[in-house]
Chain A
């Protein structure tokens, strides 16, 4: 029974590939948003460090993969690895700054760093293309076989495969002793050091890990759309990611998948009506979630499911 439940999201994702062949770009964007939300769940949901600047790593990954492909190295998998490495290094460098001061000051440092990177990319137009975006990204076929096609078939299956692998890797990490120590730190930040948990080191690693995940998500976006814009670094992206996470529910990783899918579909449906309309309802949803919505959609599912069957 439990094994079947774990397969549900992936079966749904594959069914969507056959049922909605004309909507594949939308499905790819869901997979990428889901990976970005998983990265946020690792740092916010498990490690308990609230960040307003996760888009910095998403954008760093996107520009890394985009610039590599633009400058003649379009091999996708190594592009992902490079993006993960760059984002992880950026995470390692900035983690001490974020974790150094109290929660409130740290929150603002993440916001400031995110804005700094956005502004830097905006001003360095010679490299990043500035407000026009990064043009001329040419990505080679995946594994040398699967060409990125016009309908987005390769793009979707490639994004889904990357999401699948990294999702299960994240599941393994959070179930490991390391992941449990993160939960311990989050649960009681004063007791954890008393038990001999090296809090700073654990959180730094978690921050860099989440950064690497966000970097891969950004690289996927760059490779599947063959374009990088400043949007990848925007505050809006960080805020959207947080909403997806809270909508789905923190600290289960499945919540990240559900939240990203629900958010992206709602965005698609509502902003067709009008962008203002979308922004308004997004705001209402955020307020309602903050006031009443502990647990998100995942919490709702848990209540609906019979005891013991939940993951």
Chain B
């Protein structure tokens, strides 16, 4: 029983992490209808920034996380302005080729700069070790993940529903033509959103070094996970991807814990089945 609860909480923690990593993609893919297979590359960039600052420059953990977020967001903003903006409305084949190309270039750059090996980080003392709580063992870092990512999710939800920027984004996505006609700077809203999504991916990548690992293959290795979150969660709200990510995290951790011989097959099967059962999770908004 205690083991089951530990697995459940570990699953929730990795699901939260997945949410932060993939929520940006649910905007680009689900709302802006751009097949961005390179989303994970921003997570990888954040991860490397964190590793370099933490292990080589001796910067503390929390400022490293902030820097990872900012660098990934800045990179996302630049790439959106220079390249992605040309691909809006183009056919899917162009978008697929472009984003695979971007993954290859960034992977090769990471390999060249940092080497192909797995990167490791030393967590600060207050985040390492486990705590016992009513007989249930739980890693401190997992608790930290749940709290931080939960706060991010709540902030995003609040931001989308309550703030002016959230209202503008929803308007721009609902009907870009009308929004433009009303004088909303749709292009700028999209590029800010893209930067925000990339920054969150960077944060997720930095947080995930300890849990998911980090090497130049990261963007492709976890691509399917990001796509599942978007496909299952839909793009109507922050809540959809959030629930999807947590489900996926629990399923993944439980699968690895209880049926390790099946491996990643569980996730791929889940993805295909869910895509078939709920194709509208993916496209509900983009179509309207």
Contacts and interface: CB of A to CB of B under 8 A. Distances in A.
A107 B265 contact: no
B279 A100 contact: yes
B263 A239 contact: no
Interface string A279-295: 11011111111110000
Interface in B249-287: 261-265, 268-269, 271-272, 275-276, 279, 282-283, 286-287
Contacts of A170: none
A101 B281 CA distance: 11
A283 B105 contact: yes
A39 to B, nearest CB: 16
Contact of A290 (B95, B224, B271, B272): B95
Nearest to B286: A104
Contacts, number: 130
Contacts of B103: 283
Interface in B33-65: 33, 35
Contact of A246 (B86, B93, B263): B93
A100 B97 CA distance: 23
Of B86, B97, B264, B268, which is in contact with the most chain A CB atoms at under 10 Å from its CB? B97
Interface stretch (B15-23, B108-116, B193-201, B237-245): B108-116
B1 interface: no
Contacts of A279: 104, 107-108, 111
B279 A101 contact: yes
Contacts of B161: none
Contacts of B283: 102, 104-105
Interface residues of A, number: 41
B101 interface: yes
A42 to B, nearest CB: 15
A17 interface: no
Contacts of A262: none
A175 interface: no
A179 B83 CA distance: 35
Interface stretch (A3-11, A111-119, A205-213): A111-119
By Cβ-Cβ distance, the 6 closest A-B pairs, closest first, are A286-B101, A283-B104, A101-B279, A283-B105, A290-B98, A280-B108
Interface of B: 29, 33, 35, 83, 86-87, 91-98, 100-109, 111-112, 220, 223-224, 227, 231, 261-265, 268-269, 271-272, 275-276, 279, 282-283, 286-287
22 contacts: A105-B279, A105-B282, A107-B35, A112-B227, A116-B268, A116-B269, A122-B263, A123-B261, A123-B263, A242-B93, A279-B107, A279-B111, A280-B108, A280-B112, A282-B101, A283-B101, A283-B103, A286-B97, A287-B101, A290-B95, A291-B86, A291-B94
Interface of A: 44, 50, 52, 97, 100-105, 107-109, 111-113, 115-116, 119-120, 122-123, 235, 239, 242-243, 246, 276-277, 279-280, 282-291
